């Protein structure tokens, strides 16, 4: 398969295939006759693995580490478990931050409901945002 065929089979763009090859996640053979990158079924399986890992939130450097371990005959499953456990904690923290942001946004909208739109006066760019600081803090 050439780049476009592999991309079509995996449901990605040819640029994605080229990028994954450039960073070493895919290792195509070069066609001696024309210099085209050639991919086989193993490359399609590998690309599908990369895409599944990305759906689970793995970064490309982590995917490269996992593939490298497998390529060298080492079981990557312990590393995968550790990454997922760490990612669960990170995701929980981000969700808490997003909930806090949601609360601040809702409080700001409630605070601003009775406020008029203001014109810049050289002291404040937007009276609404300025009203959320100082004495009239929102959230905590």
Which letter, b or e, does each residue of 52-75 get, where b requires 16 or more Cβ atoms within 10 Å of its Cβ? ebeeeebeeebbbbbbebeeeeee
More confident residue, 127 or 50: 50
Mean pLDDT of 58-75: 96
For each of the domains in the chain, give its residue range(s) and CATH number, in order of start. 3-74 (1.10.1660.10)
Q: Which pLDDT tens digit goes with each residue over 121-135?
A: 777 678 788 778 755
What whole-number distance in Å separates Cα of residue 124 and Cα of residue 17? 49
Mean pLDDT of 15-37: 93
Mean pLDDT of 114-118: 83
- pTM for the structure as a whole: 0.75
Q: Which pLDDT tens digit goes with each residue over 11-21?
A: 999 999 999 99
Q: Which pLDDT band holds residue 119 (cuts at 50, 70, 90)? A: confident
Mean pLDDT of 14-36: 93
- Kindly give the residue spans of alpha helices, DSSP state H, lying in 1-140: 3-10, 14-22, 41-55, 60-71, 77-112, 127-130
Please, what sign has the CA dihedral across residues 120, 124, 128, 129? Answer: positive
- Computed on alpha carbons and rounded to an integer, the radius of gyration of the chain in Å comes to 25
pLDDT number for residue 138? 54
What whole-number distance in Å separates Cα of residue 135 and Cα of residue 138? 9
Residue 87 pLDDT exceeds 90: yes
Mean pLDDT of 114-121: 79
Q: Which pLDDT band holds residue 95 (cuts at 50, 70, 90)? A: very high
What whole-number distance in Å separates Cα of residue 6 and Cα of residue 50? 13
More confident residue, 121 or 95: 95
């Amino acid at each position: 398969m050439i780049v476009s065929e592999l991309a079509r089979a995996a449901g990605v763009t040819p640029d994605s295939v080229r990028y994954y090859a450039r960073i070493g996640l895919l290792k195509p053979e070069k066609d001696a006759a024309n210099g085209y990158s050639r991919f086989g079924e193993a490359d399609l399986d590998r690309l599908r693995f990369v895409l599944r890992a990305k759906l689970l939130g793995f970064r490309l450097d982590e995917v490269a580490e996992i593939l490298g371990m497998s390529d060298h005959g080492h079981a990557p499953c312990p590393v995968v478990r550790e990454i997922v456990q760490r990612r669960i904690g990170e995701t929980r923290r981000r969700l808490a931050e997003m909930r806090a942001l949601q609360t601040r946004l809702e409080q700001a909208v409630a605070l601003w409901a009775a406020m008029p739109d203001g014109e810049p006066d050289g002291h404040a760019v937007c009276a609404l945002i300025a009203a959320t600081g100082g004495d009239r803090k929102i959230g905590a």
